[in-house]
Amino acid sequence: MNSGSKGGRGERAFYNRCMSDTPRHFIQQIIDADIASGKWGVVGDPTVVRTRFPPEPNGFLHIGHTKAICLSYGLAREYDGAFNLRFDDTNPAMEEQAFVDSIKHDLLWLGANWHAPDDGGAHGGGLFYASDIFDKMYEWALLLVRHGKAYVCELSAAEVSERRGSPSKPATSPWRDRPTEESLRLIEEMRDGKHADGSMTLRAKIDLASPNFNLRDPVMYRILRKPHHNTGDTWCIYPMYDWAHGLEDSVEGITHSLCTLEFEDHRPLYDWYIRAINEALKVDGKPAIHHAQQIEFAKLKPTYVVLSKRNMRAMVEDGVVDGWDDPRFPTIAGIRRRGYTPEAIWAFNTSVGITKFNALHDITLLENALREDLNERAPRRMVVLDPLKVTITNWGEHGDAGRLEDLEAVNNPEDASAGKRTVKFGKTIYIEREDFMEDAPRKFFRLKPGGEVRLRYAYWITCHEVIKDGDGNIVELKCTYDPQTRGGDSPPPDAEGNVRKVKGTLHWVSADDCLDVEVRLFDRLFTVEEPGKATGNFLDDLNPDSLTVLTGCKAESSLQSALVDEPVWGDGIRRYQFERQGYFCVEQEGASLVFNRAVGLKDSWGKNAARG
Ligand code: ATP
Ligand code: MG
C-alpha cells in the first residue's frame, strides 16, 4: 500500500518547516526528563519511546483522531522510538472488519506507518489487536481471582447501577465476599458458556466507597454471545475496555500511553490493575509485567463539526451524509476525498498544539493550513464554472476564423520548477457569467458593455454587444481582441504617448479546446460553531446548502490527465488551483471528469461575517 507521505515536490520541506520552531509541549518535556533520568532507556534504544494509537474499530477515523495519531507517531519519530497501531477490539457488538481496513488505510495515508522497519515503516512497532491477547487477559483475571482481588457478581447491569451509591454513600454488592473457590469455578463456567448473557460479571475487588466511581469494584468481564470479527465465537465473555486497555499497553511495552483527558479518572484504575497483577505475580514468585505511563491531553474540537462516533454513525445510517467518506464529513476518508493533504493535517495539528485545556479550535485554521500547502504545490488551471459564451468578432477576419493559437500559461507562480503549459485561444471562448455585468457600477472592474479586460495569458478584449434570448437572458457577448496585447501584456502607447490600462483579469477557456466537467462545491455541514449547543439537537443546525453540484462546467483540456511535469502527490490524488475559484481535486477520472472543491481561495465565511 502507498504510504502517502513519500516523495512529492516540496513535500518534505513543507513538513519539516511545520514541525520545527514550535515550543516544546508538556509531553515532550516529560519525555525529555524520562530520557535524562534513563527511565525507559537511552535514545536510540527502540524502547525509549514506544507509543500507540488505539482506535476501537467501530467507525471511521475523524479529524479529532488525527491529533492523537500525529502526536503519538510524531513522538516515535522524533525520539527514534516505535509506534504501534492497536485495535482496541473488545466490544464485538459494534466492531467490523470494514472499519479495521479503513483505519489502516487512513493511517498510512497520513504517513503514520506502524510497519516494522524491515517492513517499510521507519518508526513502526507493529500491528496489534486487543483480541489477540484475550487468552492472556483471562489468565491475569484468574490470577486476580485466585489472589482475592476479583469476584464473580450476580447483579444485573441495572442492579449494579442502582447500587452504585453516591459520593457520600458507598456502592454495595452481596457477592463481594463470596469464597475465592466459588468465584474461580463461576468465572470458568462463564467462559465455558454455562451462564446466560448478562447474568453475572467478574468484578475487581477495589473499593466500594471510593470517591472515584471507576474504582467502585468495576466490571472486568461480561457474558456476551456475539461473534467477534477476529476471534469468531471462541469467546462468550469479553473484557471491559478499562480492564483490557492497560494490559494491552503492558504487553506491547508502551512507554508513554497518550490519551485524551476523559481518561484521566480511569488512570487510577489502570494503575490498580497492573499493580494488583504484579503483587500477585510477586507472591507467586514470578516476574512483574510492564507498567506504561499514561499521559492525558486535550481533545481536538474544531468548530462546525460533530465528532462523536455515535452521532456520526447515526448521520451515516440516516442518510444525512452520503456515507462515511462524504466529502462534507470530517472523517479522514471524507476530507481526503475533499482534497485535503496529509501535510495540511500535520501542519494544522502542529499549530493547534498539545495542552491539558479543552478548547474549541477554529476550523479556519484547518482550512488555512490546506490553502497554504496547496498554494505552494497545486498547479494552476483555468475552469469556468458557469460559462458565458464570448465570440471574438475580429478573430480570423482574414479567413482563418477556425485558427487556434497556442499561448503559454504559468503552472505555478509559487514554484518556478513547475514550468509552463500551453492553452489554446480562438474565436469562441467561455468566461464566468458573474464576470460580466450589463448595468455595472463604476467600480466593477470586470467585463461590461464598452469595457475592456485582460484575459489571463491571452489578450485584452472589449465588449461591443450583448445577445439575449427571448426571455431576456444573456446568452452571448460579442467582443473584439487587441492583437497587440498577446500574452496579456499592455499595448504600446498611442501616438500621444498615452498608455491604455485595464483593471480586471479574467480566466477563460477556449470553446474549441475544452472539457465538459462536473464540479461539486461543498459548504460546511452545519451553520453554527457548536452544532446542537443552542438547539439541543445538532440535526437542527444542518446547513441545507452544504452541497452544490455544477454540471456543464468548461475546463481547459490539459485537465484530462496529469501533465508530465506536474508534481507527484504522494497519495496519487490530483489537486489543482482553479484560477480565481479555489482548490480542487479529481473525484472521478475518465471520460466524465468530476472535481471536488477542497477549499475556496479565501475564507468566505470570515468575509461574510465581517460584512455583517
Ligand atoms: P467514541 O468515544 O465516540 O467511541 P473515540 O473517538 O473516543 O470515539 P476511539 O477509537 O476510542 O474513539 O479513539 C481512539 C483514540 O483517539 C483514543 O486514544 C482517543 O483518546 C483519541 N481521540 C478520539 N477523539 C479525539 C479527539 N477529538 N482529539 C484527540 N484525540 C482523540
Ligand atoms: Mg473512545
CA distance 241 to 244: 5
- Kindly write down the DSSP assignment for every residue of 24-63, as one continuous string: P-HHHHHHHHHHHHTSS--TTSTTSSEEEE---SSS--BH
- Domain 133-241 and domain 381-510, same fold? Reply is no
- Kindly write down the DSSP assignment for every residue of 394-433, as one continuous string: TTTTTS-TT--EEEEEES-TT-GGG-EEEEEE-SEEEEEG
Q: Compute how many other C-beta atoms are within 10 angstroms of the C-beta atom of residue 522.
A: 20
CA distance 483 to 477: 19
Quick one: which ligand is closest to 61's CA? 1
Atom of ligand 1 nearest to the CA of 262: 20
- The label of the residue with cell 486487543 reads 130
Instruction: List the domain boundaries for the chain.
Output: 133-241, 381-510, 516-611
Q: What pTM does this model have? A: 0.93
Question: Which residue minimizes the CA distance to atom 9 of ligand 1?
Answer: 55
For domain 516-611, give the CATH number.
2.40.240.10
| DSSP H helices in 147-238 | 157-162, 180-191
Answer whether 302 contacts ligand 1 (Cβ < 6 A).
no
CA distance 353 to 561: 38
Answer whether 254 contacts ligand 1 (Cβ < 6 A).
no
Question: Which residue minimizes the CA distance to atom 14 of ligand 1?
Answer: 55
How far is the centre of ligand 2, averaged over its atoms, from the C-alpha of 518 (Å)? 38
Backbone angles phi, psi at 406, to 5 degrees: -80, 130
Atom of ligand 1 nearest to the CA of 310: 3
- CB 571 within 8 Å of CB 336: yes
CA distance 338 to 370: 11
CATH of 133-241, one of 3.90.800.10, 3.40.50.1240, 1.10.10.60, 2.60.120.10: 3.90.800.10
Question: For the chain, which ranges sit under pLDDT 70?
Answer: 1-22, 43-44, 46, 604-612
Report the pLDDT value the prediction gives residue 564, as an integer from 0 to 100: 75
First vs last C-alpha separation in the chain: 48
CATH of 381-510, one of 3.30.930.10, 2.40.240.10, 3.50.50.60, 3.40.50.300: 2.40.240.10
Instruction: State the Cα angle at 429 between 425 and 431, rounded to 5°.
Output: 120
CA distance 396 to 512: 14
CA distance 577 to 601: 9
Task: State the amino acid at position 207 in one-letter form.
Answer: D
Answer whether 57 contacts ligand 1 (Cβ < 6 A).
no
Answer whether 330 contacts ligand 1 (Cβ < 6 A).
no
CA distance 28 to 71: 10
Kind and range of the H or E element at 97? Answer: helix 97-110
Quick one: which ligand is closest to 259's CA? 1
For β-strands 50-53 and 82-87, DSSP reports them as parallel
β partners of residue 150 = 204
Bin 41: left if φ > 0, else alpha if -120 < ψ < 50, else beta. left
- The label of the residue with cell 494491552 reads 248
493-499 CB contacts, 8 Å cutoff, 24+ apart: none
How far is the centre of ligand 1, averaged over its atoms, from the C-alpha of 451 (Å)? 57
Report the pLDDT value the prediction gives residue 95, as an integer from 0 to 100: 77
Query: pLDDT tens digits for 389-407?
Result: 999 999 998 889 999 999 9
How far is the centre of ligand 1, averaged over its atoms, from the C-alpha of 57 (Å)? 11
Please state, in angstroms and as integers, the Cα–Cα distance from residue 459 to each residue in 176, 407, 428, 520, following that order. 88, 10, 13, 30
Q: How far is CA 505 from the centre of its chain?
A: 35
- CB 65 within 8 Å of CB 258: no
Report the pLDDT value the prediction gives residue 566, as an integer from 0 to 100: 78
Answer whether 298 contacts ligand 1 (Cβ < 6 A).
no
Report the pLDDT value the prediction gives residue 119, as an integer from 0 to 100: 85
Of 65, 85, 297, the one to substitute when testing ligand 1's pocket (max ligand atoms within 8 A of C-beta) is 65
